[in-house]
Structures are given as structure tokens and as C-alpha cells.
Amino acid sequence: MAAAASLSAADLFPGYGGAVGPVIQGQLGYPIGALLQPVNGIAGVSQSPSLAVTPPGAGIMRYHFQVDTAQTMDSQGGAPLFSFDQTAAQSFSGAGMFSGQDATVVAAGDAYNGTSTPTFVFYSSAAVLSPDAPYYWRARAQPSGGVYGAWTSTASFTTGRFAKQNPANHLAITGVNLFNPSTGGSVSVGFTIAENNVTTGTSAGGGAYNTADWIFVKFSTQAGADGTWNHATLTGGSVGAGATLALAADNKGVFLNHALSSAYWVAGATVTWNYVADGVVFSSVRVKVFAVSMVRVPQGSFVYNAGGIGGDLYNNYGAGSQVTVSNASQLPSGAPAGWPNAYASFYIGRYEVTQGQYAEFLNTIPSGSAAALYEPTAAYGHNITNAGVYPNKYAAVDPNAAKSYLSISDAWSYLNWTGLRPPTEMEFEKAGRDINGDTRTYPWGNTAPDLVTYTPPNEGGTCIKKFLNYNNTAGCTKVLDVGRYMSGDVYRTPAETGASPWGIADLAGNVWEFNINCSWASVPLNGDGTLNLPGSWPVPGASTVGLRGGSWIIPEAYVRVSARYNASWASTNRSNNVGCRGARTP
């Protein structure tokens, strides 16, 4: 999902990269471009893949893509299954749309310029392609004032498991097993990890970033009985193709840093658990492997408080004026060295914490603590039940919906249990704009959001169609699935996905997100894997905790990257539009 300053619909469901296909000369001598993705013979691409070809060079070009179940492209009575002709109307019976990528292609007659990658994106809102099925595709191009050139030869691909019911944030761990216990006190924990829409790229401002999975392990020596799960000490590991493994310095987990962009990534991975360090005699033990999708935001200077809209309360860095943070020593007054001012690289959640993640958390902590941290309200898109039995006592009705009704104590307990920490407001702001002078107003740019609505799949109601979930929209007064606007459920331009330059979703709208504001005078350390509230984080109810990003109930003014309307949130209560996302210092 290599991107420039923002993501496009094509970026959200790319096929695997690899060797290019044949270049064919058009009738007027124009090479029409190689088949880039999916490459010939690839398997496991999304059921909503993108089809992309190399642009032919300078000039304006229109394209024609065909897809079929037969290599001869004639399975439908002499016609292909799909024929996407850009010179005709841009309505393809709900199958998909030519993606704008770095040129806007949304209407009949639109065309790509010579620097755009021609891409067709299948919608994820319809079961257009079958799961685990082979398909063939080809393309041809028409230069301005000319005619179509010859077709490329066909390339094949086989779809994977992701269907319309899966949002952008699908991440799954399967096949967990223990093997090779050593006399030195360690054992290997193996598993398979599968995820859609992983990416690595360079922003328009020159920052290299990538998605990454935070992996941690919990163990129980009492068959998972109430209150017996503990955080495992990890000492290394390995991962298959497409990622690299980085061990956390405190041994609380590992990061799998993605090294490619693909619609569907699956790999085997192993982490090494030092069970002796955790006081375990290796005989009968159970383990659970957890994964949180994150993004590595790169080191670099960034603009804080763009436009000076943030005010100067609670020790706002720059006393309410716009300022460029150009080194790690530019700190709020009273902050100690090492305070996360966001100049250095850091990890932050790609999505807001979901109700499914929170239910898994409740199922793995002592029942008394779980009861205290559980919110039974079923309203405004929130619904976590507690009618089951352990190990599945708690369950989210919509696991992908953002977790709301979080108090500071709830959020701090969850983040510390994962080994993450709350982000500082400076980190939140850098996560929402590019480096090297970018002053964008919103995470997606400077275009103000609108109030156009649609009916999203699997959500119910009539919700805002583009950018973000906000403004207390009639018919959709609730939280939505995280990453909804990156899901490809309808055509959206790059800005309309709402993603930041680093591919981070929902930094505006959906739920307010807790952060540590600039008046906190301690370095917030990474979580230690327990339920304890760390002393290096502000206590619940302190003025040093704030909210950022707005929510489903909030109008446009509150969702700007630099807005600090709730720079201090001293409440200890739960609210129907307050959630969180985690961060971590490398």
C-alpha cells in the first residue's frame, strides 16, 4: 500500500507486488503498460483487489480492463465476466470503480495522466468475486485522440478469504502452539498471523513509515482459571516473508514491522518465551497470543498547533502559537528529557481500540477486576455482553466497532495490560499530519468534511459517507467500525478515506481519544502488562489528561488536528463517545 501523502481506494486493496508482466505495443506505437498487480499466478489476494498496470508515459490515457474465470475471456457466452471500459459510463453494476489514486477518475470520460498508475478497484460492499477462486485479467490503453491498442496477455490470481463482512482492520492469530522447550528455561510460541491492507511507504514530506503488529503473550498455569493469566517475558523470535521482527527493550512483546504492501498478508511467526523469568515450571501451561495493529510514525520535524487554534491552557507547547518541533529537546515547560514530544519515531495504534479487543481483555483478567471495568450499557453502537462463561464470558456484538464508554481508569488499565501507553497530545498531532512543514487542518488535508450520507454495510442506519463519523447525524447516532472509511465499501478519493499521511484511521471523529497533555511533567513509560495504573501516567481525574479528535456527536470545529477544546478532561466517568488508542516508545 505504498502511498504518497494520503491513501486512495486503490491503496486500500492492492494486490501483491512482484515481477511485472509483458509490455505490449499499442496500435499507434504506445506501450500500454505492464500488469503490475495482482502479478501472474499470485494467490490469496483480497476479494476486493485492485488491478493496476504501469502507465504508458506522458499524455492522457484511458483504459479497458477485463476479468473472467477463463483465460480465453469468453465464459459468458463469448464475453468476459467483467468488462471495465473507461471510455464508457463509470457505472459497473456495483462491481467497482477506476480509482483516482493520484488523478481523479470518477465520471464518464475521465482519464489518467501519464504519471498516474491506472488502477481499478473492486468494491468490498458486494460479493463480486468468489472466495478462494481463480480469475484471469488483462488490460489495454487508448491514447488521447487515438484508438485502443492491443490487449496484454492474461495474468491469473486467486482470491483469498476476505469478504464484504470484513472491514479494513481484519487481523487474526491462529494455530498457536508451544514447541522446543529448552533446558535453559525458554520455549517457542508459534502462530500464524493474517492481516489485510498492510503497508509501507514514504509520505509526500519524505517520511518513511510502515504498519506494524504489536505482539504480546499471556500465560496461565491453571488452565485459564479466573485471575491466572499473566504477561509473558519474550526474548526474541522470527517471522516469515514480508515483515521483520523487533524485540521490545523491556521484553513485553515484539513488533512485526511490515516490509511490503499487500491486500492480504499471512505469515508464520515464532516468539521465544522465557518462562523461568516468569517463575513458571514448564509442565502444564496455556498461552494466548494477542496482536494490535499499529503504525510506525517516522522521526522528523512537524508543525504543532497549526494556525494557533489550540489556545495556551494546560501548558500548551508554544503558548498557543504555531510552532515547528525540529528536535527531541523542544519540550513543554517543565517536561523532563525524554518526554515524548513526537519528534522521534514512535508507534501509535492504526485504529481506535475496538469492542472486540476490550472483550478479550476482560476475559483474561480476574473476574472482580473485569466486573469493575465492564460497562453493560447497550446504546449508541456500544454492546458488550457478559452472559457467557470463562474463557468467553464477555463478548462484543460488533467486535470491530470502536470501544466507547471508557473512563480514564478503564483506558489506562487496558493500555497497561497490553504493554502500550497513552499517546501524548504532541504525538497525536504528528500522527495526524505530515512532517517537514505540513500544516494541514484535518488528518486527510484541508478539505472540510461534508454531510453526505449513505447506508454502510453491516452497520445499519444512514451515516456520513466520507472522511469521518461526526456531527450527530440523524439515523447514525453511534460509533462505527474502526477503519470504516478506509474499507472500500464505496468509492472514495484519497482524502475522503479520512486517513492521515501515515495511513492512520479515525484520528477525527468516531470517539474522542485520551491523551496526555503538555502539562504532565513525567516521562510516560510503556505499560508493564499488568492492571496496575503506572505512576508515570497521570492519575484519573487529573487536569493533565485530555481528549483529542472529536467524536460521532461532535461538529467540524472539534475534529481539526490542532483543536484542544478538551485539552483537560478531569472527569472520571464513562461517556458514550469517549474511547482511546495506544502508543509505544520503541
Q: Do 72 and 176 belong to one domain? A: no
Q: Do 557 and 422 belong to one domain? A: yes
Check if the beta carbon of residue 390 is closer than 8 Å to that of residue 222.
Answer: no
Check if the beta carbon of residue 249 is closer than 8 Å to that of residue 528.
Answer: no
Residue 329 inside a domain? The answer is no
Residue 262 inside a domain? The answer is yes
Check if the beta carbon of residue 532 is closer than 8 Å to that of residue 519.
Answer: no
Q: Do 545 and 448 belong to one domain? A: yes
Q: How many CB atoms lie within 10 A of CB 319?
A: 12
- Could you say which residues of the chain have pLDDT below 70? 1-33, 46-47, 57-58, 89-91, 99-110, 114-115, 124-127, 161-167, 263-264, 488, 491
Q: How far is the C-alpha of 194 from the C-alpha of 264, rounded, in Å?
A: 7
pLDDT score recorded for residue 127: 63
pLDDT score recorded for residue 130: 83
Q: Do 125 and 15 belong to one domain? A: yes
DSSP-derived 3-state class of residue 307? helix
DSSP state of 382: B
Q: How many CB atoms lie within 10 A of CB 304?
A: 25
Of 162, 194, 217, the residue that ends a domain is 162
For residue 23, the enclosing domain spans: 1-162
Of 141, 162, 183, the residue that ends a domain is 162
Task: Render pLDDT for 37-95 as a digit per residue (tens, 0 to 9).
Answer: 888 998 877 667 778 888 776 677 888 999 999 999 998 888 999 999 887 766 677 78
Q: What is the CATH number of the domain that holds 28?
A: 2.60.40.10
Q: Do 152 and 193 belong to one domain? A: no
pLDDT score recorded for residue 522: 98
Q: Do 451 and 479 belong to one domain? A: yes
Q: Do 148 and 287 belong to one domain? A: no
pLDDT score recorded for residue 79: 92
Q: What is the CATH number of the domain that holds 180?
A: 2.60.40
Nearest 5 degrees, angle CA 203-CA 400-CA 477? 95
Residue 119 inside a domain? The answer is yes
Of 260, 280, 298, the residue that ends a domain is 298
Tell me the pTM: 0.79
Q: Do 499 and 540 belong to one domain? A: yes
- Amino acid symbol at 351: Y
Residue 157 inside a domain? The answer is yes
Nearest alpha-carbon partner for 186 in 336, 287, 56: 287
What is the CA 407 to chain-centroid distance, rounded? 24
Q: How far is the C-alpha of 121 from the C-alpha of 100, rounded, in Å?
A: 10
Q: How far is the C-alpha of 26 from the C-alpha of 51, rounded, in Å?
A: 19
Q: Do 119 and 214 belong to one domain? A: no
Residue 318 inside a domain? The answer is no
Query: What domain count does the chain have?
Result: 3
Q: Do 17 and 156 belong to one domain? A: yes
Q: Do 425 and 561 belong to one domain? A: yes
Residue 333 inside a domain? The answer is no
Q: How far is the C-alpha of 229 from the C-alpha of 223, rounded, in Å?
A: 9
Task: Render pLDDT for 438-497 as a digit per residue (tens, 0 to 9).
Answer: 999 999 999 999 999 998 877 889 999 999 999 999 999 999 999 998 876 776 777 888
Q: Do 131 and 170 belong to one domain? A: no
CA distances from 345 to 96, 253, 444 (A): 37, 18, 21
pLDDT score recorded for residue 57: 66
Q: What is the CATH number of the domain that holds 416?
A: 3.90.1580
